[in-house]
Amino acid sequence: MSSAETTHAPFDPAVLFKTAFLAVVAIFVLVPLLATLLGGFKSLGELRVNPFGWPAHWEWQNYADILFSGRYWQLLRNSLIISTLTVTLTLITASMAAFTFAHVKFYGSSMLLSYLTLGLLFPAATAVLPLFIKVRDLGLLDTYFGVALPQVAFSLAMSVLLLRRFFKDIPHELLEAALVDGCSYIKFFRYVTLPLSRPILATVGTITFVNSWNAYLLPLVMLNTDALYPWPLGIMIYQGEYSSEWHLILAFITLTILPTIILFLLAQKHIVAGLTAGAVKG
Amino acid sequence: MEAGQLTVARRIAIVSAMGVAGETVPQVAVRGPSWDGRFTVLILFLPPALLLFTLFVVLPIGEAAWYSAFNWNGFGRPTNWIGFDNYRFVLETRAFWLALRNNGLIIAVSLAIQLPLALTLALMLAERFRGAVALRMLFFMPYILAEIATGLIFSFVYDGDYGLVASIWRTFGAEPPHLLASTDTAMLAVLIVIVWKYFGFHMMLFIAALQGLDKSLIEAARIDGATRSQALRHVVIPLLYPTIRLSVFFAIVGSLQLFDLVMPLTRGGPADSSNTMVSFLYNNGISRMRVGYGSAIGVILFVICVTFAFTYKRWFMRDE
């Protein structure tokens, strides 16, 4: 609205202030991240005297050791398995439920929907002890499913709401006409609703994936075997082992957040839209 | 495969559209198959979600209320009924009130610092200029990083021997402080990390809202002689009230769930000075398998969350 007038006035103090302000915030955000990336290239001795600057001598060994260890890849693999399970199951169960709530009229529909939205009201942590006992009694303790299933359950409320809102925009006449022509609800769901809903499925999938990929509390409670740990658990253990060898820990942090940052750069639009849209509906 | 699906979809769409155009469809033909179909959908499509949700979300909350009446370590069946004693124990613990106070502090900082910061940045970056989009992305990036990774990065930043803060202190010739190890500064250090991680998310909420604003209202105000700051104060900000209320809602809900970030930084210490409600629950209930006591904390947290959500929605957010 006012970009025209600001560019015409070269010595506007407001522009100067704005630039300075943005620069300060950018530095505030960037410095910890860059120091982490560069710290991984330093020796411990150099880190102590020069934590900010460019490495005087590039220690590629820190990163190489981690990349060539099985440990790093195992952590990423576990995280990928758990997140993929969670996303797949969430998308399947939530889209089926959302379709029913959007297109099938039945007694108690709105009641059941508000029942599901109860899940938005409180965090998973509140009932994590009974949840642990439930997962144990089901024999799922120390399995990928023991983490994934509760994650699916807790992502359902938001996912169903987002999907239902989108599904409702598909004209109801389309469904009625298809039914008259002998197409079943299920075929309509499979061949019309789902293909038309790729954007919202991508959004819901992204939210669920990021949440599951970053999750700490549930895996911490449900898993006991190192071999099954996702990366947030693994990195805490790694930090415990190398308590003050910061150069190694920083390299490890950099490598574990790298997939997130790459994904973010590749799919910025989906991620920003997803995380804010999800929020707005919550 | 993608193309195949689309063509099928399109074919059905076309066929269906013709069906609508036909109009004179006998009612009987509609009722019969459609009710059968509805029944199949209800039987097949609803139960998976409802079952998972009931099993892993609703039942555990109910069970938390039940377990909280026992002194139980989680093995065998709960038998040692102690009534409301667990709640009394929780309320008598000093650490509980410290955690509650810390949650209050987080909310206060979110309102007093994070929200104005996010709003200011949004107003600056909603305009188009070179680099605006890149800056938005940069400011949003901390939000998608795992809280665990963020916590670890900042435990390096604050480290008294190797960290960035220590290095700054040394250049001024002062003895570096161990910020995370002191009861006076640990919570302050955590609060700074919270702002670092979450301001970008709130900024994005405001940017999305600003882009959805009706520009003609602002132009009308300018034509009527309002200065930029007057238009901002009397037109733009009031139009943003719904988003501000939403942002406040998320700040409060987020504070009540905060856990992952605290663990790598301080684990709630030293001396419980930086616990949040959830890290207090973890340290005192989960890690020691005190099921009854931990469940009581969970129930209290649940009541706080639900009460807050309902009152806030009733008072401040009338939609949905």
Answering whether pTM is above 0.80, one says: yes
pLDDT at position B150 is: 96
Q: What chain A residue is nearest to B149 in terms of C-alpha separation?
A: A253
In chain A, what are the domains? Answer: 85-243 (1.10.3720.10)
- DSSP characters over B58-86: IHHHHHHHHHTTB---SSS----B-TTHH
B84-99: average pLDDT:
91
Percent of chain B past pLDDT 90, that is, above it, reads 50
Q: How far is CA B98 from CA A52, B271, B275, in A?
A: 35, 10, 7
Which of the two residues, A40 and A268, has the higher pLDDT score? A40
Q: Which of A23-27, B105-109, B243-247 has the lowest mean pLDDT?
A: B243-247
Which of the two residues, A173 and B16, has the higher pLDDT score? A173
Instruction: Provide the chain A residues 63-122 that lie in CB contact (below 8 A) with chain B.
Output: 92-94, 96-97, 99-100, 104-106, 112, 115-116, 118-122
Q: What chain B residue is nearest to A153 in terms of C-alpha separation?
A: B53
pLDDT at position B27 is: 43
Which residue among B164, B196, B250 places its CB closest to the CB of A35? Answer: B164
- pLDDT tens digit string along B147-201? 999 999 999 999 988 889 988 888 888 888 889 989 999 999 999 999 999 999 9
Residue B42 contacts A, CB cutoff 8 Å: yes
Q: How confident is the model at residue A139 (pLDDT cuts 50, 70, 90)?
A: very high
- pLDDT tens digit string along B264-292? 999 988 989 999 999 999 998 888 888 99
Q: How confident is the model at residue A132 (pLDDT cuts 50, 70, 90)?
A: very high
Residue B38 and residue A132: Cβ atoms within 8 Å?
no
pLDDT at position B319 is: 55
- Taking residue B87's Cβ as centre, other Cβ atoms within 10 Å add up to 16
Q: How confident is the model at residue A142 (pLDDT cuts 50, 70, 90)?
A: very high
Q: How confident is the model at residue B131 (pLDDT cuts 50, 70, 90)?
A: confident
Per-residue b or e along A109-135, where b marks 16 or more CB atoms closer than 10 Å to that residue's CB = eeebbeebbebebbbbbbbbbbbbbbb
- DSSP characters over A161-212: HHHHHHHHTS-HHHHHHHHHTT--HHHHIIIIIHHHTHHHHHHHHHHHHHHH
Is residue B298 scored above 90 in pLDDT?
yes
Which of the two residues, A33 and B10, has the higher pLDDT score? A33
